[in-house]
């Protein structure tokens, strides 16, 4: 085993996640044993945004949580959106998970792991794990779950898994397609996606556990009305009490959890006020009800958090591209030498200086957002640097913008009248409102700008139909560099003649590619490396422009909930919250 590199990785994990990507705080409930194996060890306590969370066993009654959408299926091997994230975390336990408080990998169904070489990991399984029916969990069940989740193709994180084999009653070997010892998040990213079930019970079920799951988590499904509500009660066969310490998704601070599906934002405050739910996210337009002086302020408290998504602009840097080499979309231009005006760095900087981010924050988010000065990532990432917030990050300056525009026009051999910036975005209302403000700001430079709306996935593969794209950068990782390739790391089309030459932004830059590759390597990870890449991408080349990070709100009944715990995926962990009865 590469012991030295494992130590480097452990330090990297601690650095990136110590600040917490979910509920915050610090602590330690894992230790590294001699030889590099990671083993579980109970910690002294977790912590959340508004106080400590203490596991007090089965002493509560019921809590009702508003879920924004229906989970559709409760199967362990199907990925989904937030509705599934809400409910499945109480049904199943993963092989490993992140401990965001301590900044380490959290053993759950497994008790330890060892990278035996670059492509293999040995995982030891706990010997007293059971599902909710009392069926034991052994290595064959864990190997089955790893292979089933991988073979489903539903989890991108598992694309690096070649397979899992049983090596003993409680020992599994995972084979990887990459050097797992050099991957910042490969191991834990994959293993936290694998929910564990008993193989025989799963294969005997006629519905693949989609409606009647038998999981390894602390709760069992008591009642379900699809599209309406799902009720879970504490399992009689839960094995994790006293074993997993303060692992948040394994806690049992409430006896019954009811998830009420409420897709309509406007109905959630009503559900809170009429005692249908005790906790719900609320939109910025409804926050005033629960703020000081609001009609519901006495009975409810507000939980605020930074969104895991940041809005950003990415530029089309296509330069001298033969557009006949790949499929076009809509009214595209066929050219063997196409160049976007945004391939010019001064044009990119001119646009950046024209955009008034504060205007976007007030006009679209009602003031409930913050400007972002990062290269990828968001404030939830453990390596986020608050000092970035004080930088002059293309603060709106039309004088500088017009100076950059004049340089760009001279270099491109164009006049202002010949420039029309096409902003591409999706049809969501918030995005369209942002796009309107941004194009209006760009027009103040003395050039034309328009909005092009499309929900067709991958439509920006055609460089002739857009110049800038407004999109969300989702960052649920604790590591900022792992978000970098969202805009740049993927090949934009499949034609053999051009594959690998350009990425989604049509940037052909070896230095950028080097940063992206090194950004995923544990041995390269450091705050200095992040800053070096950030200076190059944002300030020297202006390849992308981060815009806003919205504040998200939830309201909870203060007679029931005393402390709210969130996971890094932006979802409440009800079993870990502190209640009036704890």
Length of the chain in terms of residues written:
582
Place of tokens 């110049």: 467
Cβ pair 247, 571 in contact under 8 A: no
- Output the 3-class SS for 167-195: EECCEEEEEECCCHHHECCHHHHHHCCCE
Among 57, 60, 65, 55, smallest CA distance to 231 is for 65
pLDDT over threshold 80, residue 60: no
Cβ pair 301, 556 in contact under 8 A: yes
Among 468, 401, 396, smallest CA distance to 439 is for 468
Cβ pair 570, 305 in contact under 8 A: yes
The model's pLDDT over 173-212, given as tens digits with 9 standing for 90+, comes to 999 999 999 998 899 989 999 999 999 999 999 999 999 9
Contacts of 479 (CB under 8 A, 6+ apart): 12, 16, 184, 185, 377, 381, 382, 383, 525
Burial of residue 228 (CB within 10 Å: 0-12, 13-18, 19+) is exposed
Q: How confident is the model at residue 323 (pLDDT cuts 50, 70, 90)?
A: confident
pLDDT over threshold 80, residue 322: no
> What's the DSSP call for residue 468?
E
| pLDDT at residue 508 in the model | 80
Q: Against a cut of 0.75, is the pTM above it?
A: yes
Between residues 249 and 349, which one has the greater pLDDT? 349
High-pLDDT (> 70) share of the chain, % = 82
Q: Which of 171-185, 314-328, 449-463 has the lowest mean pLDDT?
A: 314-328
Place of tokens 């006495």: 298
**Which whole number is the average pLDDT over 231-241?**
95
pLDDT over threshold 60, residue 481: yes
Q: At what angle do helices 527-534 and 510-518 cross, to 10 degrees?
A: 150
Q: Which of 37-41, 210-214, 320-324, 505-509 has the lowest mean pLDDT?
A: 37-41
Q: What distance in Å separates the CA atoms of residue 259 and residue 278, rounded to the nearest whole number?
A: 10
Radius of gyration of the chain (CA): 25
**Which whole number is the average pLDDT over 514-521?**
88
Q: How confident is the model at residue 10 (pLDDT cuts 50, 70, 90)?
A: very low
Cβ pair 235, 256 in contact under 8 A: no
**Which whole number is the average pLDDT over 146-167?**
95
pLDDT over threshold 50, residue 2: no
Count CB neighbours of 419 within 10 A: 21
Structure tokens at 407: 């340089």
Among 484, 360, 339, smallest CA distance to 414 is for 339
Count CB neighbours of 37 within 10 A: 18
Torsion sign across C-alpha atoms 531, 533, 538, 544: negative
| Helix, strand, coil distribution of the chain in percent, nearest 5 | 30, 25, 45
Between residues 26 and 38, which one has the greater pLDDT? 38
Place of tokens 């034609």: 495
Average pLDDT, the chain: 85
In a 3-state reduction of DSSP, which class is residue 214?
coil
| pLDDT at residue 21 in the model | 41
Q: How confident is the model at residue 123 (pLDDT cuts 50, 70, 90)?
A: very high
Torsion sign across C-alpha atoms 478, 480, 484, 486: positive
């Amino acid at each position: 085993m590469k012991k030295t590199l494992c130590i480097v990785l452990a330090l990297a994990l601690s650095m990136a996640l110590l600040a917490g990507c979910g509920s915050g705080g610090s602590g330690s409930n894992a230790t590294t044993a001699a030889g590099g194996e990671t083993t579980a060890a109970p910690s002294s306590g977790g912590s959340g945004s508004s106080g400590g969370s203490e596991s007090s066993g089965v002493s509560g009654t019921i809590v009702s949580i508003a879920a924004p959408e229906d989970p559709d299926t409760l199967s362990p091997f199907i990925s989904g959106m937030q509705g599934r994230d809400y409910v499945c975390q109480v049904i199943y336990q993963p092989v490993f998970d992140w401990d965001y408080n301590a900044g380490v990998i959290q053993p759950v169904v497994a008790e330890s792991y060892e990278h035996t070489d670059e492509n293999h990991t040995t995982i030891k399984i706990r010997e007293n794990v059971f599902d909710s029916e009392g069926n034991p969990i052994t290595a064959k069940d864990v190997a089955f779950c790893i292979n089933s989740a991988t073979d489903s193709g539903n989890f991108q994180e598992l694309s690096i898994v070649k397979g899992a084999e049983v090596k003993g009653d409680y020992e599994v070997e995972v084979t990887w397609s990459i050097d797992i010892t050099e991957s910042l998040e490969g191991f834990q990213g994959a293993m936290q996606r694998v929910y564990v079930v008993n193989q025989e019970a799963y294969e005997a079920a006629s519905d693949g556990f989609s409606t009647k799951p038998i999981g390894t988590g602390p709760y069992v499904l008591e009642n379900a009305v699809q599209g309406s509500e799902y009720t879970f009660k504490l399992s009689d066969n839960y094995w994790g009490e006293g074993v997993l310490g303060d692992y948040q998704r394994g806690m049992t601070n409430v006896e019954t959890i009811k998830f009420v599906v409420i897709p309509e934002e406007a109905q959630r405050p009503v559900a809170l006020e009429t005692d249908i739910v005790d906790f719900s996210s609320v939109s910025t337009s409804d926050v005033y009800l629960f703020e000081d002086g609001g009609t519901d302020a006495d009975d409810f408290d507000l939980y605020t958090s930074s969104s895991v998504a940041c809005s950003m602009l990415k530029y089309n840097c296509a330069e001298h591209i033969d557009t006949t080499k790949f499929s076009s979309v809509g009214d595209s231009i066929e050219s063997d030498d196409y160049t976007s005006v945004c391939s010019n760095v001064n044009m990119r900087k001119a646009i950046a200086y024209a955009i008034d981010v504060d205007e976007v924050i007030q006009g679209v988010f009602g003031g409930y957002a913050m400007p972002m000065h990062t290269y990828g990532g968001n404030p939830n990432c453990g390596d986020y640097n608050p000092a970035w917030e004080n930088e002059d990050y293309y603060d709106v300056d039309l004088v500088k913008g017009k100076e950059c525009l004049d340089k760009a026009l001279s270099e491109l051999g164009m006049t202002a009248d010949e420039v029309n910036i096409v902003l591409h975005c999706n049809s969501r209302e918030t995005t369209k409102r942002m796009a309107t403000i941004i194009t209006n700001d760009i027009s103040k430079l003395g050039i034309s700008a328009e909005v092009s709306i499309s929900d067709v996935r991958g439509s920006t593969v055609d460089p002739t139909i857009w110049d800038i794209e407004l999109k969300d950068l989702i960052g649920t990782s604790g590591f900022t560099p792992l978000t970098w390739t969202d805009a740049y790391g993927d090949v934009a089309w499949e034609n053999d003649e051009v594959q690998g030459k350009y990425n989604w932004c049509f940037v052909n830059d070896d230095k950028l590619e080097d940063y992206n590759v090194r950004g995923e390597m544990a041995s390269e990870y450091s705050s200095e490396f992040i800053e070096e890449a950030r200076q190059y991408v944002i300030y020297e080349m202006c390849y992308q422009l981060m815009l806003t990070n919205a504040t998200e709100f939830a309201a909870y009944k203060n007679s029931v909930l005393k402390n709210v715990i969130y996971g890094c995926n932006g979802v409440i962990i009800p079993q870990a919250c502190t209640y009036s009865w704890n």
